[in-house]
Amino acid sequence: MKFIELKNVNKVYKNGVTALADVSVSISKGEFVFVIGLTASGKSTFIKMLYREERPTKGTVMVGGLNVGKLRNRKVFKLRRKIGIVFQDFKLLPKLTVYENVAFALECVGMKSKDIRPKVMSALERVGLKDKVRSFPGELSGGEQQRVCIARAIVNEPKLLICDEPTGNLDPKTSKEIMTVIDSINKDLGTTIIMATHDKDIVNRMKKRVLLIEHGILAGDYAKGSYKTNEGI
Amino acid sequence: MRKEVIKLMKAFRIFGRSIRDAAKSVIRNFSLSFASIMCTTITLLLVSVAIICAVNINNATKSIEDELSIVVYLNKDITEENIENIKADIESQKNVEEVVFKSKTEWKDEMSEYDDTFSTVLNYLDENPLSDSFIVKVVNVDKLSDTALYIKSINGVDVVKYGEGMVDEVITAFDVVKKVVAVVVIALILVTAFLISNTIKLTIFSRRSAIEIMRLVGASNLTIKIPFIIEGFIIGVIGSIIPICVTIYGYVVLYSLLNGHVFSNMIVLLKPYNFVFYVSGILLILGAIVGMIGSLLAVRKYLKI
């Protein structure tokens, strides 16, 4: 069975807007997939469906063997512990230090303090922020904040890393650095990565599998390196 | 077995961290915590005053009601045997709690002690002009007049006295007062719960992004709720400190200033010791529970996605 599998997924919001219509796609373990599309194309809904921020109106969403659409509110944490999520707006807790922000993900799970420390340090080392552990998010640049967010997402060693426009707020140079970090996570740890983005340069340069979503429909599924045009972004 | 132990250890760690986080967040969000604490303090003060008034009014009405009794004067020519029969008849009534016989000699002695004039007059007469009597205490004062009427109908009973008219009015008045006080106390407690939970809602509203992030990194709903519930508990307990001090000190001072009674000797205040501690206990528990429930209700709103 595939790691992620969407079958005939429909999503209609309460206000009657159809965000996704009959989307079926499967993604294997260890793949790196870009999800592209214009604003309001249904790309965000697609991503949110994977971490059960939204439920499908029809169809099934399977992630790592869990039927995400059927997951009860109380049980959502079981899915969230298996995946890491990186956001455009970082979503860091401003009153916690870099270390505390990353450790937070492990404390929630009830891990021992002495086990938490090495894991947090190794995650921070991977994103190159080992010397900023005592800083608060407000003291960091955008790129650094995004690295903290990535460290928090991978500290629990998830099988899946979902990135919702992680470079949306960053300049091209910083974006490139962030992409290097994300790519290394995919290559070194074998983490499956699904990344929604607007940035055509990144998509063209990285040469990964690309899912193009237009008006809520899966308009194209391009194999590794076959997507080259600028359409749809 | 081992698995369960590990699970338990995890739960303990999460609980320990929750206490730490709750204490931290009370301090880090001090201005909002302070608002909640003040709100709790003020409403609990009102509750305290209401409870003290209610209990004292209840106590006063009860002690006055306890004093109410029916005095039954028997016919002059009554025989010993008849007295026993009448006593048995009165005792057979459901509403009768106690029947005490008071002979005419006892009346005479009591009245003689009360006033020398009586003593002189009574001694002047050859025969004791007074009647033998029963003093009847009832279970339910609301039915005092019914019971009195029944006793009057018994053969051998001469006169029945129970302070007619006045007693009925007093009882009705007490009933109204008790009901009003009960309504006020309940309303105040509800208002307290509402106010505290609303203020806590404000403090949680400011941290909804933290709740969102907790959910996103895989914290279970319970793990998210516990620190907030503990925080509500801390706020409730801190908020009840001032009302407790005011209650203890204030009531003791008030009691000694008024010498233990209000207006007349009829309305006696409850003795301060133990009573103030009971009220303090109620305030503490009320603050803690309302704080926790308020927090719980407020967090729940942000856990429904």
Residue A147 falls inside a structural domain? yes
- Chain B residues near any Cβ of chain A (below 8 Å): 10-11, 13-14, 17, 28, 209-210, 212-221, 223, 303-305
- Is the pLDDT score of A229 beyond 70? no
For A59-79, give one letter per residue: b (16+ CB within 10 A) or e: bebbbbebebbebeeeebbeb
Query: Which residues of chain B does A105 touch, with a Cβ-Cβ cutoff of 8 Å?
Result: 217-218
Residue A230 falls inside a structural domain? no
Residues of the domain holding A207: 4-222
| Nearest neighbour of A112 by CB, restricted to B11, B13, B303 | B13
Give the chain A residue nearest B303 (alpha carbons).
Answer: A73
Fold of B69-161: Alpha-Beta Plaits (3.30.70)
pLDDT tens-digit map of B267-294: 778 888 888 999 999 999 989 998 888 8
Give the strand pairing for A83-87 and A66-67: unpaired
Q: Would you state the pLDDT for residue A231?
A: 53
Residues in chain A: 233
pLDDT tens-digit map of B149-158: 888 888 888 8
For residue A1, name the pLDDT band (cuts at 50, 70, 90): low
Instruction: Assign residue A116 the CATH number of its domain.
Output: 3.40.50.300
Q: Are A107 and B251 in contact (CB under 8 A)?
A: no
Q: Are B37 and B195 in contact (CB under 8 A)?
A: no
Mapping DSSP onto H, E and C, the string for chain A reads: CCCEEEEEEEEECCCCCEEEEEEEEEECCCCEEEEECCCCCCHHHHHHHHCCCCCCCEEEEEECCEEHHHCCHHHHHHHHCCEEEEECCCCCCCCCCHHHHHHHHHHCCCCCHHHHHHHHHHHHHHCCCHHHCCCCHHHCCHHHHHHHHHHHHHCCCCCEEEEECCCCCCCHHHHHHHHHHHHHHHHHHCCEEEEEECCHHHHHHHCCEEEEEECCEEEEEECCCCCCCCCCC
Query: Which residues of chain A does B27 touch, with a Cβ-Cβ cutoff of 8 Å?
Result: none
- Is the pLDDT score of A186 beyond 70? yes
Domain range list for chain B: 17-64+170-302, 69-161
- Is the pLDDT score of A187 beyond 90? yes
Q: Would you state the pLDDT for residue A23?
A: 92
Give the strand pairing for A83-87 and A160-164: parallel
Residue A59 falls inside a structural domain? yes
**DSSP output for B50-97:** HHHHHHHHHHHHHHHHHH--EEEEEPTT--HHHHHHHHHHHHTSTTEE
Task: Please tell me the distance from the alpha carbon of residue A47 to that of residue A69, in angstroms, as a whole number.
Answer: 13
pLDDT tens-digit map of A93-137: 888 899 999 998 898 888 888 899 999 999 999 999 999 999 999
Give the chain A residue nearest B220 (alpha carbons).
Answer: A77
User: How many beta-carbon pairs under 8 angstroms link A with B?
Assistant: 58
Give the chain B residue nearest A74 (alpha carbons).
Answer: B221
| Nearest neighbour of B217 by CB, restricted to A74, A111, A152 | A152
For B148-165, give one letter per residue: b (16+ CB within 10 A) or e: bebbeeeeebeebebeee
Q: Are B244 and B280 in contact (CB under 8 A)?
A: yes
How many domains are contained in chain A? 1
